[in-house]
Every structure is written in C-alpha cells, then in structure tokens.
C-alpha cells in the first residue's frame, strides 16, 4: 500500500469510503465530483392531475383486475393476493440438488398487494394522517398474520413509488412478500446486528441512533417516538433510515403511540421528499424487522429504508451502473449535505402551499 498523503483528511472534500453497519458493505464517497456537467438521460416528470378514480386502474375500488378478479368497493385500505405472485404456497418444498455447479432450493411463500387508499390520485405524502395510520395497522396485521405461519420465516413489507422505481401504477399501493427462507438483505442485517449484540450487549441500531443524535448533522427530522436520518453509509443520494427511539424488534410490537407518531413522521418525511424537487418523489421503501421463524432476536431493531433514485432535479436520477455494479456503490453528495437539504424543506406540501 502507498503511504497516504500528509495533507489532513476532509470528508467534505476528499474521496473516502464508509462502512454500512447493517450489511457490512462499503460505499465510496466522492464529494469533489458534484460539480461535473450532466448531458445524459433526463427522465419525464410523473403525470400530474390524475383522476380520483380511474376506470382503467386495476387497483381502484370496483374495478376488474387481471385474471377476472374484481376489487370490492373499498373505502380505506384493501389487501389482495398478487395475481402474478413471485412466490407460491403450494410449490414443492423439498431440497433440490443439481450437483456441484447447479445449486437450487425450492422456495415457497405468498405475495400480496396493499392498496393504501381508494383514491387513485393520492400518495402517502398527501394522505391524511389518520389514513396513513390505517396503513401502519395493515402493515402490522400482515406481519402478524403471515409471520405467524410456521412455514414463513420472513415478511417483507415494501413500496415501489413512481414509474422511475418500476411501480406499475400510480395508485397508492405497496406489497408484502412472505417466504420460507430469510432473504439476502435481512440475513446480512441479522448477522451484523447479532455480532454487535454479542460484543456490546445492546442493539446496534439503538446505539447507532444515540451516536447520530449526538452528531446531529445527518438528522432529517425528529418526533417523539421516531428519528429520520440519512445514514452515514447512504448509497442513494437522498437515502434515509427511519428509526424508533425505543427498542422494537418488529412491526407488530409497536404501541399505539408509536404507530400514531409513525404515521405523522412518515407524512413529514414524504412531504419533504416531494418538496425537494417539487415532484411526486419516487422511491423504493421497505421495513426490516426480526425474522418470524421462531428464533430469538433481541439484537434486532425495526427500521425502514427509503431508497430514492433522484439526484439533481425531478428529471435527473442516479444510475447504479459500471463501477457500482462491478466494484462498489459510489455517491457524490455526502450524506451530511443530503440531510441538510432535506432538513431545509418546508413542512407544507408544495401542492397545498399557498392554498
Ligand atoms: P408494483 O407497482 O409495486 O410493481 O406492484 C403492483 C403489483 O400488482 C405487481 O406485483 C400486481 C403485479 O403483479 N398486479 C396484480 O396482482 N393484479 C393485476 O391485475 C395487475 C397487477
Ligand atoms: Zn386507481
């Protein structure tokens, strides 16, 4: 290894790498690069002025879905089994061995779609707090019900928001996939949190939260029960981590007060996201909680990740390509700069401001 230069290191200027405490991976941070010009792809902004009910939408109340199923005339949330589920309950569950070079295992489970609202033109950012609170309860119910099944080891709640993140439909909705085996990302988080707990006898994310609150520079917003921050190791430009202040191992363990406050906190975060580029902000988000395989998980702390792709404006996104795919993820603006930009946003949604 070459000797490092004698100049003193400045994380706002000099390239460096940061370790993701949750999955053990590294991200390259290159803060000096933000000034470079952009002549690449420009995205189309999402369509505004959607109708409140779209007769063509397969998620709107009363409409027909693929395969001839019809949605009921629901008036709050609605959950159904995905008509094109990636996991099936009744596929054969025995081990498949195809020799040294062709490894496979049967996987079983179920996939559901959660409609957050009957209103086609809403997003979580623009729903009433009480209606978001209802979504919080549905998330908890899904983890309780599916996670309670002996053949389900992990319940993944998530939302793809916006065409840029592959969402098939602007109607406010999320998904839940539940499977027999713990998937890759939660398994890595389980390992890292367990190792930390064994060493320090305290949950990693609780200790991390205290360190972040002390540092302050990556905090986006704080409420009574929750803190939203840009994690030190964020990969996506405006990535955030939503953390409870109290120990909560998984979604159903939340108290009523924590649920009420979560609904408000999510709304606050999503308003800031929308205000950042005055667009309906695209993202993938999801909840990570303890596995439901009956094991002991005192090291787990519930949290949500938000992974938004936008970088500079409503139409310029970050691409995870070349170096990211082949070597390691890389970012230009620092986590601290991103947190500051989000902190500075108004608490009033840009579409309702001034009205
Ligand atoms: P996304 O928009 O997050 O991709 O989710 C929509 C899901 O809805 C998708 O997984 C399902 C797709 O399989 N779907 C149905 O279950 N029924 C339909 O009629 C269309 C789409
Ligand atoms: Zn709809």
Q: List pocket residues of ligand 1, CB cut-off 6 Å.
A: 58, 65-66, 82-84, 113, 160, 166-169, 175
- The 10s digit of each residue's pLDDT in 165-186 is 888 899 999 999 999 999 999 9
Q: Are strands 330-331 and 26-29 parallel, antiparallel or unpaired?
A: parallel
How far is CA 275 from each of CA 116, 174, 177, rounded to the nearest angstrom?
Answer: 21, 22, 31
Rounded Cα distance between 225 and 235, Å, is 26
Rounded Cα distance between 259 and 281, Å, is 23
Give residue 330's pLDDT. 94
Contacts of 206 (CB under 8 A, 6+ apart): 247, 301
Which tokens go with 197?
A: 């707990």
Give residue 12's pLDDT. 81
What are the residue numbers of the active site?
173
Rounded Cα distance between 180 and 293, Å, is 8
Rounded Cα distance between 227 and 241, Å, is 8
Spell out the domains of the chain, with CATH numbers in brackets. 17-28+183-343 (3.30.428.10), 78-179 (3.30.428.10)
Best residue among 159, 168, 286 to mutate for probing ligand 1's pocket (most ligand atoms within 8 Å of CB) is: 168
Q: What's the predicted TM-score (pTM) here?
A: 0.94
Continuous H helices in 168-240 = 184-200, 204-215
- The 10s digit of each residue's pLDDT in 269-321 is 999 999 999 999 999 999 999 999 999 999 999 999 999 999 988 888 998 89
Atom 11 of ligand 1, residue of closest alpha carbon: 82
With residue 264 as reference, give the H or E element that holds it: helix 256-276
- The 10s digit of each residue's pLDDT in 228-263 is 999 999 999 999 999 999 999 999 999 999 999 999
């Amino acid at each position: 290894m070459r000797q490092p230069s004698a100049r003193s290191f400045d994380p706002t200027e000099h390239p460096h790498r940061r370790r993701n405490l949750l999955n053990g991976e590294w991200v390259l941070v290159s803060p000096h690069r933000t000034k470079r010009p952009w002549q690449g792809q420009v995205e189309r902004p999402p369509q505004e002025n959607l109708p409140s009910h779209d007769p063509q939408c397969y998620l709107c109340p009363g409409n027909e879905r693929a395969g001839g199923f019809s949605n009921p005339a629901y008036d709050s949330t609605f959950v159904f089994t995905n008509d094109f589920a990636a996991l099936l309950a009744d596929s054969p569950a025995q081990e498949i061995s195809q020799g040294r070079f062709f490894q496979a295992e049967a996987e079983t489970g179920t996939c559901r779609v959660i409609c957050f609202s009957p209103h086609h033109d809403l997003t979580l950012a623009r729903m009433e707090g009480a209606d978001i609170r209802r979504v919080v309860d549905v998330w908890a119910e899904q983890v309780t019900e599916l996670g309670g099944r002996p053949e389900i080891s992990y319940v993944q709640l998530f939302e793809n928001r916006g065409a840029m993140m592959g969402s098939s439909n602007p109607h406010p909705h999320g998904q839940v996939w539940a499977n027999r085996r713990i998937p890759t990302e939660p398994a890595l988080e389980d390992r890292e949190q367990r190792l930390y707990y064994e060493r320090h006898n305290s949950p990693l994310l609780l200790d991390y939260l205290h360190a972040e609150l002390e540092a302050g520079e990556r905090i986006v917003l704080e409420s009574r029960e929750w803190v939203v921050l840009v994690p030190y190791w964020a990969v996506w430009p405006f990535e955030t981590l939503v953390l409870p202040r109290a120990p909560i191992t998984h979604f159903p363990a939340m108290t009523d007060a924590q649920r009420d406050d979560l609904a408000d906190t999510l709304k606050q975060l999503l308003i800031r996201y929308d205000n950042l580029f005055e667009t309906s902000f695209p993202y993938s988000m999801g909840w990570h909680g303890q596995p439901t395989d009956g094991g002991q998980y005192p090291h787990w702390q519930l949290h949500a990740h938000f992974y938004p792709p936008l970088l500079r404006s409503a139409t310029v996104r970050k691409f995870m390509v070349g170096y990211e795919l082949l070597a390691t993820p890389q970012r230009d603006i620092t986590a601290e700069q991103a947190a500051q930009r989000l902190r500075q946003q108004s608490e009033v949604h840009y579409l309702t401001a001034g009205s």
